[in-house]
Amino acid sequence: CGGSYFAEPRGIEDQADGTRKGYDTNAYTTPEIERIGRVGMDLARKRDGRLMSVEKSNVMHSGVLWREVMTALHAAEGDGVELGHMYADNCAMQLVRN
């Protein structure tokens, strides 16, 4: 299980200067992304046929992989689904604005 919630390493460290540092690792495997993508496409087919894949490929390598895998999965299995891509920051802004 990957993502920001379960990937390692993660933790909080006390620094030599008295400050503290919290860190997480964001990691996804191809099968994890495909599993989530299939669920999304199945839901899209039951609704209006649209699926928005949201990631941070502009700043994170895991986001680049996410976009690549979702694009390939859609090409192979996405009949009846319109796939879009959006950066996570823009998605959050759109949710607040709309």
Q: What is the pLDDT of residues 6-40, one digit of tens each?
A: 888 999 999 999 999 999 888 999 999 999 999 99
CA 6 to chain centre: 14
The residues that bridge with 86 in the sheet, in sequence order, are 54
Q: By C-alpha distance, which of 50, 44, 54 is closest to 90?
A: 54
What does residue 95 show for φ and ψ, rounded to 5 degrees? -65, -40
Count of the separate structural domains present in the chain = 1
Query: Greater confidence, 8 or 47?
Result: 47
Identify the burial level of 73 via C-beta atoms within 10 angstroms of its C-beta, where 0-12 means exposed, 13-18 middle and 19 or more buried: buried
- Which pLDDT score, from 0 to 100, does residue 2 have? 67
User: Residue 4 in contact with residue 43, Cβ under 8 Å?
Assistant: no
Query: Is the distance from CB of 59 to CB of 90 less than 8 angstroms?
Result: no
The encoded tokens of residue 12 equal 């909080």
Give the residue numbers spanning the domain of 16. 3-97
pTM value is 0.86
